[in-house]
Amino acid sequence: MLENIRLSFSGILSHKMRSFLTMLGIIIGIAAIIVIVSTIEGANKQIEKNLIGSGNNNVSVEISKGDDSVDFAFEAIPEGLNDLEENQISELRNIKHVKKVATYKKRNEYEGVFYKDNPLGNGNVLGVSKNYLETCDLIIKKGRIFSKNDFNKYRKVVILDTTAEKVLFQGESSIGKTIEIKKEPYTVIGIVKDKKEFKPVINSVDDYYTYYANKVSRIFIPNTTWQIPYQYDEPSNVVLKVDKTSNLTSVGKLAAKKLNNNITANDTSIKYKAQNLLEQAKKIQELEESTNMMLIWIAGISLLVGGIGVMNIMLVSVTERTSEIGLKKAIGAKKITILGQFLTESVVLTSIGGIMGVLAGIGLAEVVSKINKLPIQIDVISAIVAVAFSMVIGIIFGIIPSYKAAKLEPIEALRRE
């Protein structure tokens, strides 16, 4: 085998230009596949990051009807759907991979929140538990967070996120001012922001509507005062902080299952459902990948052309070396030895092309990333598979020339010059 490899390199180096042109189809095909795959992987990572954000690893489990979250401004609270009790929340805390649990009630408000004549517009009012801000990685920008007395004494105080502050106050100082929530006065005590600021990468109008259109202002009040602007006995949703992103889906599903075990409502369509961002990311990724499969097929055609080129040059090589083959067979070389020699040469030729294609692909991927500002993710496994695939091409397209060389009769081969 080592002797065959040595002879293969000797043959390739003796015809450098011819060998390079033979490998060119393989190089282009492998390079194209590496660029496409690395771009797809990079885009997938960016989609996941865009949806999940800066990595706070929170999964919300909300009361839903079918596929949509229930808004109790328009839905009556069904019998058998009660607010969460402490033992249920403790059960959620005991789920593997869960670090923190908080509860909240939510109402989407279009016209119910005002500061003077300024409406909040499209925003969410959330009645939150004591540890909600901490669980969701929200930190105070100015003012203060909720105190125990705010909850225990039913104080009508409110915290705004930075977007809500801009919309309502439009540059005015907000701390200590009073806003109205459903005509009830609430005093602003603080402004919060995300602990890790994150802006999705936007490459198209579709990206904007996917990642930004549903982002709304948020204002937070103690859940003990929820019944003042809204209603009594409204059931809570849950947010869980998970140890790592990959566990969001499994933890969310298990939490929803545990909460649903306690629902006795007659309406079976009312269920707790996890907000599955990873699943949403997967659907977008599948859509993106489907549009790129055609490019991979086109790159595959380059490999086919490259394989045909290898077969052609190996047939030429057999013709050129007919007398050499005849001499070897005359002194006792077996058919399998001749077959192995030419097959090894074909595999070495395509393997070199594969390695050069991988290196070219990595370089081109970096260039594409710089020019188009697209993320890339170089996959080592894909690179190894690409080289292995080029070797397979060498075997497939080298079989016919190698077999032709192996079946030559010694006398007939020596007669040719």
Q: Classify residue 120 as exposed, middle or buried by CB count within 10 Å of its CB (0-12, 13-18, 19+).
A: buried
Confidence of residue 6 (pLDDT cuts 50, 70, 90): low
The label of the residue with tokens 């067979």 reads: 329
Helix ranges, 15-161 (H): 16-52, 86-93, 132-135, 148-152
247 and 148 housed in the same domain: yes
Q: Tell me: the pLDDT tens digits for 387-400? A: 787 778 777 777 76
Q: Which of 1-5, 74-78, 195-199, 308-312 has the highest mean pLDDT?
A: 74-78
- As a whole number, mean pLDDT of residues 251-262 equals 88
Q: How large is the average pLDDT for residues 346-359?
A: 84
pLDDT for residue 212: 45
Residue 45 sits in the same domain as residue 86: no
Q: What is the pLDDT of residue 211?
A: 44
Distance CA 200, CA 53 (A): 7
Q: Is 209 within a domain?
A: yes
Same domain, 146 and 230: yes
* 48 pLDDT more than 70: no
Write the CB contacts of 304 (distance below 8 Å, at least 6 apart in sequence): 29
pLDDT band at 140 (very low <50, low <70, confident <90, very high): very high
pLDDT of residue 213: 44
Q: Which residue has the higher pLDDT, 52 or 338?
A: 338
Q: What is the mean pLDDT of the chain?
A: 78
Binned at pLDDT 50, 70 and 90, residue 338 comes out as: low
Same domain, 354 and 299: yes
Query: Does residue 361 or residue 268 have the better pLDDT?
Result: 361
Q: pTM of the prediction? A: 0.60
- For residues 87 and 234, state if they share a domain: yes
pLDDT band at 271 (very low <50, low <70, confident <90, very high): confident
Q: Are residues 39 and 142 in the same domain?
A: no
> 86 and 213 share a domain?
yes
Residue range(s) defining the domain that contains residue 146? 82-262
Assess whether 42 and 86 both reside in one domain: no
In a domain, 69, yes or no: no
Q: What is the pLDDT of residue 79?
A: 79
- Provide mean pLDDT across the span 65-78: 79
Q: Is residue 372 part of a domain?
A: yes
Q: Is the pLDDT of residue 277 over 60?
A: no
CA distances from 360 to 9, 38, 77, 372 (A): 21, 13, 62, 18
Is 36 within a domain? yes
CA atoms 153, 92, 71, 199: torsion sign: positive
Predicted confidence at residue 209, as pLDDT, reads 42
Mean per-residue pLDDT, 213-229:
86
Q: Which pLDDT band holds residue 205 (cuts at 50, 70, 90)?
A: very low
Instruction: Count structural domains, the chain.
Output: 2
Nearest CA to 43 out of 272, 268, 184, 203 is that of 203
Residues 28 and 116 in one domain: no
CA-nearest of 265, 205, 197 to 235 is 265
- 44 and 174 part of one domain: no
Mean pLDDT along residues 216-222: 92
Pick 162 or 246 by higher pLDDT: 162
Domain membership of residue 175 (yes or no) is yes
- DSSP assigned state of 112: S
Q: Once rounded to an integer, what is the mean pLDDT over residues 118-138?
A: 91
At 290 the pLDDT is 56
User: pLDDT by residue (tens digit) across 90-102?
Assistant: 999 999 999 999 9
374-387 pLDDT tens trace: 677 777 777 787 77
210: pLDDT confidence band, cut at 50, 70 and 90? very low
Per-residue tokens: 53: 């954000």
- Is 54 part of any domain? no
Domain shared by 242 and 297, yes or no: no
User: What's residue 383's pLDDT?
Assistant: 77
Q: Give mean pLDDT, residues 33-58.
A: 68
CA distances from residue 221 to 153, 154, 164, 229, 376 in whole angstroms, order as listed: 13, 10, 13, 10, 42
Higher pLDDT pick, 209 / 17: 17
Q: Which residues pair with 119 in a beta bridge?
A: 114
CB atoms inside a 10 Å sphere around CB 183: 8
Residue 104 pLDDT > 80, yes or no? yes
Write down which residue in 210, 232, 262 finishes a domain.
Answer: 262
Task: Determine, yes or no, domain membership for 65.
Answer: no
Query: Which residues are paired to 238 by β-bridges?
Result: 61, 103
Same-domain pairing of 252 and 127: yes
Domain assignment of residue 275, yes or no: no
